[in-house]
Amino acid sequence: MPGAQATHGDAMKTQALETFREKLAAGHSVHGLWATLESATVTEIAVALGLDWVVVDAEHGHLDWKDVNEHVRAALRSDTVLLVRLAERSTSLTKRALDIGADGVVIPWVESTEQLEEAIRDCRYPPEGRRGIGGERATAWGHCLAEHTAEANEQVLVVPVIESVAAIPHIPAMCELDGVDVFFFGPADFSATAGCRGQWEGPGVAEQILELKDTIIAAGKHCGLMTTSLDDLETRREQGFRMLGLGSDTGLLSRSLHQALQKLGCDRMPATSLDPADGRPVRVPLPQPPEHMRPDRHELVTHVTETDTLELQSGVLFNPLVGQFNTARDLTTGVVAFKPEASLDCHTHPCSESITVLEGQLEVLVEGRAYRLGSLDNITIPRWLPHAARNPDPAVTARLHIALAMDVPERELVAKEFERIEMPDDSPGHPGRERVTRFATAARTFGVGPGAEFIDFFNADLMPGLEMSGGFGRFDPDGRLPAHLHDFDESICIIDGEATCHVEGRRYSLSGCATAMVPRGRVHYFINESPGSMDMIWVYAGPLPERIVVDESCALHPPDRTPC
């Protein structure tokens, strides 16, 4: 009978969608791929390997509708659900994606219940919605209008992406809507809206996403996100995320290439210019430290409470953490507290100085140029440049991390008065003089170690003639660095979370601004073994952040070398 034959003639993969939902309802995870390349072979491979879903990304990148159509075609008559990520919530874009045969749509940047309601209406035929009836693949080019429209409203997947902090208060109400099975998270955009642009999960974002996940699961819905590694895949599954992205086509290709290049000893990290000459080589670990870099001192860990507090000026208190007092060479670091409205008079140093705000606010004047700094902002001032500092807050103490490129600090007061010049909030400093790094907008470096990201605050490449280098590091749970050593002393201050440091068979736990002074030649690495993120301020007594990577055993056991 024509009617019976047509029942199976429309393009909607009802059985695949039912299986997708049944797996979620049973507490199983559904695994998929993010397709960003134009070749439909990517989706064919995913289908052949039995993946539960593929998302074709029509929001970012270069895919046009011809490319999307080919991906949809590659998933026909399979058990793999094919979703299209739209460029925006749009009735016309939704209609087009579903008409060519997509099993559902991924809606970016959903921030309110009203927006989600509109997205659901876009996916449903009247009277429940406003999807127009078209004679395309979804209806077998008009041959199965009745059959398709009878089942489509209940079958189409609508997957909103939560990628803005503005969505947080609306999540409970969104969960009450009929027509949504899974909420997907976008951690990078979520972090950007939280003021941490360029980070996958900025401060507090990981915890916030986990809390929202619990809210969504309690409401009987499911959560998904992209995983970043095999370890992360397992962690996310244990956390209760069920729609798990194994990666994107380009990301998985890059990961595989890195693994092969590592075996060949010629791995490298690309630069944003895409010019191989600008890339950074990933060095093959040496089996042993170089013989000429044998250390003559041991590492020392100093806690703020263990040091004498020095009053630099009324209300300005300094606790040294690294310096000549604990055998460091050419480097002083410590924590300075500025009580409310306390100030430090204009002065100079015979070396460069770095100031990073840990808590509160700080106003720094360099030759009269006035900068307002907030949490984790940094200003670096070259030698002999007159500067003063003040806590403008009348109630809150400001805490800073400071570093000087000398092991016995010296300063000279400056009597000269400078005309005050208010600098813009986004000022990077004065060319050829001081450098200001705004934490929220600073460029991040990834790939130095798994689960770790870094910001370079200062070095001789950024400020020619500078004697030291340093910056900020954030480690996700299990984030770490490879075992390495330096040709200069190093200060590592743990400003948030808890870190574990291994130094040639000795293990230390650091938190609360505890600081490790690791001397030249000592093999060490840091790892975050805690469930939360860990932040550090690192400073090298050398002009560039150079390191020598060695086999990990050299940090876990004393290297086979004769001490000096």
| Gap between the Cα atoms of 284 and 4, Å rounded | 64
| Gap between the Cα atoms of 455 and 448, Å rounded | 11
Q: 14-25 vs 145-155: helix axis angle to the nearest 10? A: 20
> Measuring CA to CA, which residue among 393, 390, 399, 369 is closest to residue 381?
369
| Same domain? 109 vs 56 | yes
Residue 294 belongs to some domain of the structure: no
| Same domain? 314 vs 182 | no
| Same domain? 27 vs 116 | yes
At residue 560, the pLDDT reads 67
At residue 405, the pLDDT reads 97
| Same domain? 251 vs 306 | no
| Same domain? 235 vs 310 | no
User: Which CATH number does the domain housing residue 109 bear?
Assistant: 3.20.20.60
User: Which CATH number does the domain housing residue 490 bear?
Assistant: 2.60.120.10
Number of domains in the chain: 2
Pick the last residue of a domain from 256, 279, 308. Answer: 256
Question: Using an 8 Å Cβ cutoff, are 532 and 207 in contact?
Answer: yes
How is residue 378 written in tokens?
């940094």
User: How many C-beta atoms lie closer than 10 Å to residue 133's C-beta?
Assistant: 16
| Same domain? 306 vs 237 | no
| Same domain? 137 vs 240 | yes
| Same domain? 340 vs 219 | no
| Same domain? 404 vs 535 | yes
Q: What is the mean pLDDT of each run of 10 residues along the chain (564 residues)?
A: 39 92 97 98 98 97 96 97 98 97 98 98 97 93 93 96 97 97 96 85 88 98 94 93 97 89 76 78 79 92 94 97 96 98 97 98 97 97 97 97 96 94 95 95 85 94 95 94 95 97 96 97 95 96 93 86 46
Pick the last residue of a domain from 222, 239, 256. Answer: 256
Pick the last residue of a domain from 221, 237, 256. Answer: 256
| Same domain? 214 vs 351 | no
Residue 228 belongs to some domain of the structure: yes
Residue 32 belongs to some domain of the structure: yes
Residue 282 belongs to some domain of the structure: no
Residue 295 belongs to some domain of the structure: no
| Same domain? 410 vs 357 | yes
Question: Using an 8 Å Cβ cutoff, are 435 and 379 in contact?
Answer: yes
> Measuring CA to CA, which residue among 83, 20, 80 is closest to residue 57?
83
Read off the pTM: 0.61
| Gap between the Cα atoms of 293 and 163, Å rounded | 48
| Same domain? 321 vs 193 | no
Residue 224 belongs to some domain of the structure: yes
Q: Which domain holds residue 399?
A: 300-556
> Measuring CA to CA, which residue among 489, 490, 520, 524 is closest to residue 294?
520
Question: Using an 8 Å Cβ cutoff, are 9 and 1 in contact?
Answer: no
Residue 94 belongs to some domain of the structure: yes
Residue 48 belongs to some domain of the structure: yes
| Residue 384 CB contacts under 8 Å (≥ 6 apart), including other chains | 348, 349, 350
